Amino acid sequence: MTPARFAYVRPETLDAALAVLAREGEGAMPLAGGQSLVPMMAMRVARPALLLDLNRLPGLEAIAVVEGALRIGAMARHASVLAHPAVAAEAPLLAMALREVAHPAIRNRGTLGGSLSLADPAAELPACMLALDATMVLASAAGERRIRAAEFFIGLYATARRPDELLLRVEIPRAAGWTAWFEEVARRRGDYAMAGLAVMARRAGGLIAEARLSFCGVEPAPRRLPEIEAALVAGADAAALLPRLAEPLGSAETPAPYRLHLAQVLLRRATESLHAAA
């Protein structure tokens, strides 16, 4: 469990980092908190030719409300996001989800941008981005690019980030009148979720008027499920629709039918909870 040979660079400016990516393309792998990448390298599952360490880049860890949106820099550590008052006020869903992310030591190093860019199917934060309708802001030597979360996560460990791009920050629209709901099921506290569900629901006149949701840990990639969202808004049995719509992953400890069952359990809990509160 030692990494294969790699080159290492730790630029001091964003421009320098983007220049490295422009030059190296897929051979370079950005290193943020390293909580997934470093073990993957130790197991030689990840074999970057060049490790591009982002930890000296200035300003990428900022968390602030700017122009009506909550901006969270890609290098913000999970622990900082979890503790930030602006997150509690504007995107409590993130705080709810982050409490389930691993353990304090990992949250002290792990970053929002790292988790979103890796797109582990079990990760909580990608699902939250979908439910929050966040926008991902990417940069390359050619300039900035904005992508809605729904277009960003495209598959198992796959995102719309191009090899020459870095994720700079996410922008989460303010959500007055929206309620957050998050829950996940894991064998042990802090484990990857066997199934998790992030929901944002908007209330109007004592009813749920709108909902955005995504599972994590269930399918190869998080995604919005419009039929399920509609059923949840209507207070219908959304869980009953799930077997037709979801393609659950299976593994040695968590067979696919069990994941589907857990996803249904979460959906029923969310529906009940959100309608009761509405």
Partner 1 sequence: MPDTATGRAMPQTAIGRAMPREATRRLVAGGGRYLDDHTERGELHAAFLRSPLPHARFTLDVGAAAALPGVHAVLTAADLAAMCRPWRTVSKAFPGLVSPEQGPLAAGRATWQGEPVAMVLAASRAIAEDGAEAIVAQWDELPAVTSLDAALAPGAPPVHPGLESNRAWGGTIQHGQPDAAFAEAALVVEERLSFTRHTGVPLEPRGAVATWEPGTGALTLRLSHQMPHQMRLHLAEQLGLPINRVRVICADVGGGFGIKMHVYQDEFAVAAASRLLGRPVRWVSDRMEALMADIHAREHIVTARMAVDAAGNILGFDVQDLQGLGAVSIYPRSSTLEAMSMLRAVGTPYRFAHGRARIDCALQNKVPTGQYRAVGAPIGCAMTEHLIEKAARARGEDPWDFRARNLLRLDEMPCANPFGAALHGLHHHAALEKARALMDLPALRAGIAAGREAGRLLGLGLAVVVEFTAAGPVAYGAAHVNVAATDTVVATLEPTGEISAQASITEIGQGITQGLAQVLADAVGVAAEAVRVEAGDTAAAPHGGGAWASRGAAIGGEAIWGAGRRLRAQLLEAAGALLQAAPETLDIRGGEILDQAGTARMTLAELGRLMLFRGHEMPKGVTPGLSAAFHYRREGDATLANNGVHAALVELDRDTGLVRVLRYWMVGDCGRVLNPLLVDGQYRGGVATGIGEALLEACRYDAESGQFLSGTLADYLLPMATDIPDIALGHVETPYAGSALGAKGAGESGTCGAPAAILNAVNDALEAAGGGAVTELPIHPVAVLRALGRLA
Q: Site residues (CB under 8 A) for partner 1?
A: 1-5, 43-44, 185, 187-192, 251-253, 255, 257-258, 261-262, 265, 269
- Of the pair 36, 80, the CB lying nearest partner 1 is at 36
Chain-centroid distance of CA 121 in Å reads 9
Q: How far is the CB of 249 from partner 1 (least distance, A)?
A: 14
Q: How far is the CB of 170 from partner 1 (least distance, A)?
A: 26
Identify each DSSP E strand in the chain by its residue range: 7-9, 28-31, 50-53, 63-66, 69-73, 135-140, 143-148, 153-155, 158-159, 166-173, 178-185, 195-204, 207-216
Q: How far is the CB of 185 from partner 1 (least distance, A)?
A: 5
Q: Cα dihedral sign for 145, 149, 116, 6?
A: negative
- Of the pair 218, 262, the CB lying nearest partner 1 is at 262
> By three-state DSSP, how is residue 253 classified?
coil
- Of the pair 174, 187, the CB lying nearest partner 1 is at 187
- Of the pair 67, 253, the CB lying nearest partner 1 is at 253
**End-to-end alpha carbon distance in the chain:** 51
> By three-state DSSP, how is residue 214 classified?
strand
- Of the pair 157, 258, the CB lying nearest partner 1 is at 258
Q: How far is the CB of 42 from partner 1 (least distance, A)?
A: 8
Give the full edge-to-edge strand order of the sheet including 28-31. Answer: 7-9, 50-53, 28-31
Give the full edge-to-edge strand order of the sheet including 195-204. Answer: 178-185, 195-204, 207-216
- Of the pair 34, 173, the CB lying nearest partner 1 is at 34
Q: How far is the CB of 274 from partner 1 (least distance, A)?
A: 17
d(CA 144, CA 125): 22
Q: How far is the CB of 251 from partner 1 (least distance, A)?
A: 8
Residue 185 DSSP class: E
**What is the four-CA torsion angle of 192, 193, 196, 200, rounded to 10 degrees?**
-20
